[in-house]
Chain A
Amino acid sequence: MESILLWLAAVFLAPFFSAVILKIKAFFAGKKGPPLLINYYTLIKLFKKGSVYSKSTTVVFKMGPVISCATALTVLLFLPIAGHAPVFSFNGDVILILYLMGLGRFFTIAAAMDTASPFEGMGAAREAYFPIICEAAMFMILIFFYRMTGALSLSAYFAGTGSLALWQIAGAPLLFIVIAFFIILLTENSRVPVDDPATHLELTMIHEVMVLDHSGPDFALIELGSFCKLFFYAAITSQLMVPFDTGLPGLGLVLFLAGLLIVYMIVGVVESAIARYRMDKVPQFVLTSFALAFFATIITLELIT
């Protein structure tokens, strides 16, 4: 019951945290920025609208938003929030999570291809390419966690005292993992320096260009899905960064939220401080996360045996 409530809270809070990034970016730009509740207003506005479908699209186009949002929501079910046990958990659930997100991406890409727009095709090609590198890094991180805990489930890593234990076993390499995971966060959620969520230039976009043709409630689902996805990655990063288990339920939650806020703020600072990489340099940047995770895993070979 508690975990379902937490899950609901996570879904409900995800749009709020995404607005924090906008606020930080506005701060650096010397502007007031949109209100913190902007994403709720946008979602409500979009849900009230009707959808427009091109005659050349098929049912695949309509499935894209539904499935990408559904997978993002499902993935959150497996996420231990603030050290609490998630709604679902079993040994090997990380693999399921990874490929649930892959499924969501597959349908976003398929929906983009379905429009037969050359821009969306280009975006789809890029969206298919970068996550492949991400996946390699992700598996490296999993290998690392598996070596540390001997389990393949998120709750084993992050529920209860899990994350604190990780720091005690392998603090230094875990630092690499945090950085590697943050790079994956930026890539998977199409943030600067990989993608620019604010751009309107269809030739340079990756994720945004694929959803150009979606409108109204469909677009709202996509937005909600991407808020949840970012929340998922940010929550894991936060739990790695703030692993303390105080035993007091209230305090744990506060610490978790504080950590989450810090992660989102760092994303905002990164977006404000650096320019976007040239498209052909992005793979190098993403590969950095793989190298870091690989290095961390190598180091732990010494520790465990």
Chain B
Amino acid sequence: MTQFLEITNGGKVRRDTIPHLDFAVFCDHALSIIKNGGKVVHFFAYEDNDKDRVKFLAVLRTDVLLAAGCDAPESYPALTRTCEVFHLFEREIAEQFGIRPEGHPWLKMVRYHENQRQVPDVFGNDYTEDIPGNYDYYRVAGDEIHEVAVGPVHAGVIEPGHFRFNCIGERVLHLEIQLGYQHRGVENLFYTAKAKQLPLLAENIAGDTTIGHGLCMAQAVEALASVQVDEGAKIIRTIALELERLANHIGDLGALCMDVAFLAPANYFGRIRGDFLNLSLLLCGNRFGKGLVRPGGVRFTLDDDIRKTLDERIKELKPQVEHVLELIFSASTVRARFEGCGRVSAKDAQHLGLVGPAGRASGIAYDARRCFPTEYYPHLSIAENAKPTGDVLDRAMVRRDEVLQSISIIQSLIDKPVYTRPVEEGTRTLQSLAPFCFAVTVNEGWRGEVSHAVLTDDFGNILRYKVKDPSFHNWNGLAMALRDTGISDFPLNNKSFNLSYCGFDL
């Protein structure tokens, strides 16, 4: 029997009801939950009101969400040694609060910044030096070993990240990914932001997951301020999240084709991605859905004219999407490239705790829309979409299935009239957040599980705001996929994951 408290997605709990365990008990219970198939949603440190007390808080998931906290020691035996899913979480805590996980297999900073407590740096870095600072990469030695370093500045117009390949000939033995070049201190911005700035911050954590992060923030604030959202707003939010998924999945499938020089679908999907972005434009005036989701509801109604246009355009796009999908998956040369490329076994995926399409391609059926449904999802049936092999083909197939499912979800939602009272910015501002409370929200963004956790202090101010993008779980999956794969297949694998740099860097 676990001493962790069962909490609900998007529910408010008073902080004193969260079990505050002894550190050893906390570790034991956390590890036993993970060993029984649980996963980490959040594991972070925060400073309680009296500044010299640092506490840990973990939110784990099995079939339910479980939370517990404990006092943070200055150093402790790393949980990663037993359960790999803690790997990056422990590194993040070490970086943010200077708490050393002893025996951590790869204790290295995550984003390259000073810790918040002004205690000696765990990694021994001098942060007055520019990036890339003084830190080591994993090395492989030998006569025929060569190292290829890519980035952080890339040939394409993409985000910055450094990739270090240890190769023997064309074969990759190991890939190490170093990110953090876009660290903006997003979490810290939440503490000083005014209430109406919160949505803007959340929407800009990662531009391609605007709705995903926006939803998480809005739901957390709604939970803490005890605001109810009407049915119409829930439907519109669901439509927006599915449109985001559609545009991105379609873009990814096109990009995968581009990488294997299969031109026609790459170009068609490039165009069709734009068409779906334009549907978001129709919904709220922004192609990425910025400015739509606000705590309390949505800012724009879905009147019958827009609903009809939406329906017409989707009816027109659907056969085109189906046709191009057919073109991609029936081409033998494309399948030859996708099949067996960059395999992540189900076992590895479990150990790394992969989420989203990447996880589902490796046989992990977890989908927050089905497991922890929010908004209108409780009324929808979401398919499992788990695939057996975990190669590029499976990651593409998961996207294909989800594209088709999302189209029918949207079609079913715009079938009948939607009524909502739009939130006017400034007028219906939220009452202050409930003091001394905690809320965690989980949504299935297009990359997987997006989650925000918010703690408030005695006065209803935000004490700790924790953001987690699915990329935080999945970057190591990409590194694993590259093992024993040709280095020339890296771009293909990279696209098949298509992870966020800024969502990770925060």
Q: Which positions in A face B, CB cutoff 8 Å?
A: 25, 28-31, 118-119, 121-122, 192-193, 196, 198-204, 212, 271-272, 274-281
Q: Which stretch from B362-370, B383-391, B433-441, B488-496 is at the chain A interface?
A: B488-496
Instruction: Using known A-B contacts A118-B147, A278-B486, determine if residue A202 contacts B155 with beta carbons closer than 8 Å.
Output: yes
Question: What 5 A-B pairs have minimum CB-CB distances, sorted nearest first?
Answer: A29-B267, A275-B262, A275-B333, A276-B261, A275-B260
B337 at the interface (CB under 8 A from A): yes
Question: Which of B261, B267, B331, B487 touches A192 (beta carbons < 8 Å)?
Answer: B261
Residue pair A274, B148 in contact (C-beta under 8 Å):
no
Residue pair A204, B488 in contact (C-beta under 8 Å):
yes
- Which residues from chain A contact B344 at a C-beta distance below 8 Å? none
List residues of B (259-318) whose CB comes within 8 Å of A's CBs: 259-264, 266-268, 271
Query: Beyond A29-B268, A203-B488, A271-B261: 8 further Cβ-contacts under 8 Å?
Result: A28-B264, A30-B264, A119-B150, A203-B150, A272-B263, A279-B170, A279-B489, A280-B486
Question: Which of A198, A272, A279 touches B488 (beta carbons < 8 Å)?
Answer: A279
Cα A279 to Cα B262 with chains together (Å): 15
28 residue pairs from A and B, CB less than 8 Å apart: A28-B264, A29-B263, A29-B264, A30-B267, A118-B149, A119-B150, A121-B146, A122-B148, A196-B261, A201-B491, A203-B148, A203-B150, A203-B488, A203-B491, A204-B259, A204-B489, A204-B492, A271-B261, A272-B264, A275-B262, A276-B262, A277-B333, A277-B337, A278-B486, A279-B170, A279-B489, A280-B486, A281-B336
List residues of B (332-349) whose CB comes within 8 Å of A's CBs: 333-334, 336-337, 341
Residue pair A275, B149 in contact (C-beta under 8 Å):
no
Cα A29 to Cα B256 with chains together (Å): 15
B59 at the interface (CB under 8 A from A): no
User: B487's closest neighbor in chain A, by CB?
Assistant: A203
User: A196's closest neighbor in chain B, by CB?
Assistant: B261
B interface: dominant SS: helix
- Which residues from chain A contact B155 at a C-beta distance below 8 Å? 200-202, 212
B317 smallest CB distance to A (angstroms): 15
User: A202's closest neighbor in chain B, by CB?
Assistant: B155
Residue pair B333, A118 in contact (C-beta under 8 Å):
no
B394 smallest CB distance to A (angstroms): 17
Cα A199 to Cα B146 with chains together (Å): 24
User: B490's closest neighbor in chain A, by CB?
Assistant: A203
Cα A275 to Cα B262 with chains together (Å): 4
Residue pair B170, A280 in contact (C-beta under 8 Å):
yes
User: B331's closest neighbor in chain A, by CB?
Assistant: A275
- Which residues from chain A contact B79 at a C-beta distance below 8 Å? none
Question: Which of A25, A196, A201, A275 touches B156 (beta carbons < 8 Å)?
Answer: A201
- Which residues from chain B contact A192 at a C-beta distance below 8 Å? 261
Cα A71 to Cα B321 with chains together (Å): 48
User: B167's closest neighbor in chain A, by CB?
Assistant: A122
Residue pair B264, A274 in contact (C-beta under 8 Å):
no
User: B147's closest neighbor in chain A, by CB?
Assistant: A118
Cα A274 to Cα B263 with chains together (Å): 8
User: A212's closest neighbor in chain B, by CB?
Assistant: B155
- Which residues from chain B contact A25 at a C-beta distance below 8 Å? 263
B236 at the interface (CB under 8 A from A): no
A278 smallest CB distance to B (angstroms): 6
Cα A177 to Cα B284 with chains together (Å): 61
Residue pair B334, A275 in contact (C-beta under 8 Å):
yes
Residue pair A274, B149 in contact (C-beta under 8 Å):
no
B18 at the interface (CB under 8 A from A): no
Cα A118 to Cα B333 with chains together (Å): 29
B502 at the interface (CB under 8 A from A): no
List residues of B (224-272) whose CB comes within 8 Å of A's CBs: 257, 259-264, 266-268, 271
- Which residues from chain A contact B267 at a C-beta distance below 8 Å? 29-31
Question: Which of B261, B264, B334 touches A199 (beta carbons < 8 Å)?
Answer: B261
Residue pair B336, A277 in contact (C-beta under 8 Å):
yes
- Which residues from chain A contact B487 at a C-beta distance below 8 Å? 122, 203
- Which residues from chain A contact B341 at a C-beta distance below 8 Å? 278
- Which residues from chain A contact B150 at a C-beta distance below 8 Å? 119, 202-203
User: A281's closest neighbor in chain B, by CB?
Assistant: B336
A276 smallest CB distance to B (angstroms): 4
Residue pair A198, B261 in contact (C-beta under 8 Å):
yes
Cα A212 to Cα B486 with chains together (Å): 21
- Which residues from chain A contact B146 at a C-beta distance below 8 Å? 118, 121
B495 smallest CB distance to A (angstroms): 10
Residue pair B333, A204 in contact (C-beta under 8 Å):
no
Cα A196 to Cα B263 with chains together (Å): 11
Instruction: Using known A-B contacts A118-B147, A118-B148, A203-B491, determine if residue A276 contacts B263 with beta carbons closer than 8 Å.
Output: no
Cα A204 to Cα B155 with chains together (Å): 12
Cα A198 to Cα B156 with chains together (Å): 12
Task: From B156, B260, B267, B491, name the one whose CB has the most chain A CB atoms within 10 angstroms.
Answer: B260
- Which residues from chain B contact A29 at a C-beta distance below 8 Å? 263-264, 266-268
Task: From A122, A203, A212, A281, name the one whose CB has the most chain B CB atoms within 10 angstroms.
Answer: A203
Residue pair A274, B262 in contact (C-beta under 8 Å):
yes
Cα A83 to Cα B170 with chains together (Å): 44
Question: Which of A118, A193, A279 touches B261 (beta carbons < 8 Å)?
Answer: A193
Cα A272 to Cα B262 with chains together (Å): 7
User: A195's closest neighbor in chain B, by CB?
Assistant: B261
Cα A121 to Cα B167 with chains together (Å): 13
- Which residues from chain A contact B259 at a C-beta distance below 8 Å? 199, 201, 204
User: B256's closest neighbor in chain A, by CB?
Assistant: A275
Task: From B155, B337, B489, name the one whose CB has the most chain A CB atoms within 10 angstroms.
Answer: B155
- Which residues from chain B contact A277 at a C-beta distance below 8 Å? 333, 336-337
Cα A201 to Cα B151 with chains together (Å): 12
List residues of B (141-172) whose CB comes within 8 Å of A's CBs: 146-150, 155-156, 170
User: B170's closest neighbor in chain A, by CB?
Assistant: A279
B411 smallest CB distance to A (angstroms): 25
Question: Which of A201, A275, A279 touches B257 (beta carbons < 8 Å)?
Answer: A275
- Which residues from chain B contact A198 at a C-beta distance below 8 Å? 261
List residues of B (410-434) whose CB comes within 8 Å of A's CBs: none
User: A191's closest neighbor in chain B, by CB?
Assistant: B261
Cα A200 to Cα B495 with chains together (Å): 14
Residue pair A274, B156 in contact (C-beta under 8 Å):
no
- Which residues from chain B contact A203 at a C-beta distance below 8 Å? 148, 150, 487-488, 490-491
Cα A31 to Cα B170 with chains together (Å): 35
Quick one: CB contact mask for B475-497 with A, threshold 8 Å, 1 for yes?
00000000000111111100000
Cα A12 to Cα B73 with chains together (Å): 75
Cα A280 to Cα B146 with chains together (Å): 18
Cα A122 to Cα B486 with chains together (Å): 12
- Which residues from chain B contact A276 at a C-beta distance below 8 Å? 260-262, 333, 337
- Which residues from chain A contact B334 at a C-beta distance below 8 Å? 275
List residues of B (452-506) whose CB comes within 8 Å of A's CBs: 486-492
Cα A73 to Cα B491 with chains together (Å): 35
B494 smallest CB distance to A (angstroms): 9
User: A193's closest neighbor in chain B, by CB?
Assistant: B333
- Which residues from chain A contact B261 at a C-beta distance below 8 Å? 192-193, 196, 198-199, 271, 275-276
- Which residues from chain B contact A274 at a C-beta distance below 8 Å? 262, 331, 333
Cα A223 to Cα B156 with chains together (Å): 21
